[in-house]
Amino acid sequence: MISVTHITFGILGTEFCLTSLGMEPTASSLAIGSLGSLLPDIDTPKASLGRVFPLSFWIEHRWGHRTITHSWVFIVLSCILFSPLLFFFKKFLIYSCLILGVISHIMIDMANTSGVTFFYPDTTRYVFPAEKTSRIEVGSKKEFILLAILIFITTITTPISYIGYKSLFYRLSQNPYGAVEEAQKWSDEFLLSATIKGIWKESQLPVNENFKVLAVQGNGILITKNNKVFYISYNPQSSIIINKIWIAKEKKMKKILIEKKFDYILFDSIEIPENSIISGYLFYEGYEGIQDVVYGYEEREYRTIRIDPRVGNKLIISYCPVEVLKKMRNKGLYISHGELTITKFEEVR
């Protein structure tokens, strides 16, 4: 096959394998796959890569074209030669794309009239289809028809591969099972939003709103709007009986975890970064001042601040937005001891 056919089939094969494994292809990974799809043709100076490879003439004279470099031997050799990418540089994606590109080249060359000696040194040539007249000569009209088909398919599948096959299914079905998995997949890298259609379980009133995703908790998602937090899921504990849900990526961000310990301090003096979520516990004095915060939740809300029933003066704080926690300021709350984990979000530009 000509180089452009190998490149197109290499891109198609690479993105299909990566997406099937739940990995997101990138432009650079597909470019690496394209490079890998040209490597087996270092066995002939007539090929584009063979022209710049100094040993191509010697390889072709010694073994011939589509023999050793189009066999399992070359696949294993490529795995070994490129293994430093995997073991020393931890570039699993680049390593995988190179090997997938090599394999794609050998696969499509089986459709040539002469096939390949895949099990070299066994000289049997493996081809498909079995009927010789159905195979494709290099540079023939058949190859350009095949190339046009591959380009058409790749044009359609490449945008889908960036989404992911499972993600595409979830987006089309818009079910809560998929929403939880999508949120788990992206919550460490992106700020997420959830558009939900359904009904509130408590009031049976309709819901058709957009919420900010706070975190994934078990089999559900914590969402927030207007400083109120709700737990949604496909289980009976969900605040919303979901008909359709759509998870969308908003901004790329990174999470910064800040661990803080406190002893004998006024709550008002605790510094809490903006755009953060807080979890942990606080032993306190001055309960009367915060009753409206602890007991001010609606039935449908997720209680981000609650009193530990086993220890009367201990506040349990769970996935609490900073805006909610600030409601406890200016109430004379004194902290005798406590530990907080503050998750701060910073936009990646």
Domain stop point among 104, 138, 163:
163
By the 10 Å C-beta count (0-12 exposed, 13-18 middle, 19+ buried), 315 is classed as buried
- Single pTM value for the model: 0.66
Among residues 259, 222, 257, 255, the alpha carbon closest in space to that of 347 is found at 255
**Alpha-carbon distances of 146 from 133, 214, 322, rounded to whole Å:** 15, 48, 58
**Alpha-carbon distances of 39 from 13, 36, 70, rounded to whole Å:** 15, 5, 10
Residue 262 is encoded by which pair of tokens?
Answer: 């406190």
Residue type, 181: E
Look up the CATH number of the domain holding residue 208.
2.30.30.690
**8 Å CB contact between 278 and 318:** no
For residue 62, give every residue at least 6 positions away whose Cβ sits within 8 Å of its Cβ, in sequence order, or none.
none
Annotate 165-215 with DSSP letters as a single string. HHHHHHHHH--HHHHHHHHHHHTTTEEEEEEEEEEETTT--EEEEEEEEEE
Q: Is the same domain home to 13 and 71?
A: yes
What is the full per-residue pLDDT of the chain (349 aa) written as tens digits? 899 999 999 999 999 998 888 787 888 989 999 999 999 999 999 888 888 888 899 999 999 999 999 999 999 999 999 999 988 888 898 999 999 999 999 999 999 988 999 999 998 999 988 888 888 998 899 999 999 999 999 999 888 887 777 777 777 788 888 889 888 888 888 899 999 999 999 899 999 999 999 999 888 999 999 889 999 999 889 999 999 999 988 888 888 899 999 899 988 888 888 888 999 999 988 666 677 777 778 888 999 988 888 877 889 999 999 888 888 888 888 889 999 999 988 888 7
Return phi, psi of residue 65, to 5°. -85, 145
Domain stop point among 163, 180, 214:
163
Give the range of the structural domain holding residue 329, as residue numbers without chain letter: 254-347
Q: Is the same domain home to 263 and 247?
A: no
Residue type, 137: E
Return phi, psi of residue 17, to 5°. -65, -45
Q: Is the same domain home to 213 and 271?
A: no
Q: Is the same domain home to 195 and 270?
A: no
For residue 16, give every residue at least 6 positions away whose Cβ sits within 8 Å of its Cβ, in sequence order, or none.
157, 161
Instruction: Point out which residues pair with 334 in neighbouring strands.
Output: 266, 285
**Rounded CA gap, 322 and 234, in Å?**
27
Q: Is the same domain home to 157 and 174?
A: no
Cα dihedral 155, 158, 159, 164 sign: positive
Q: Is the same domain home to 41 and 71?
A: yes
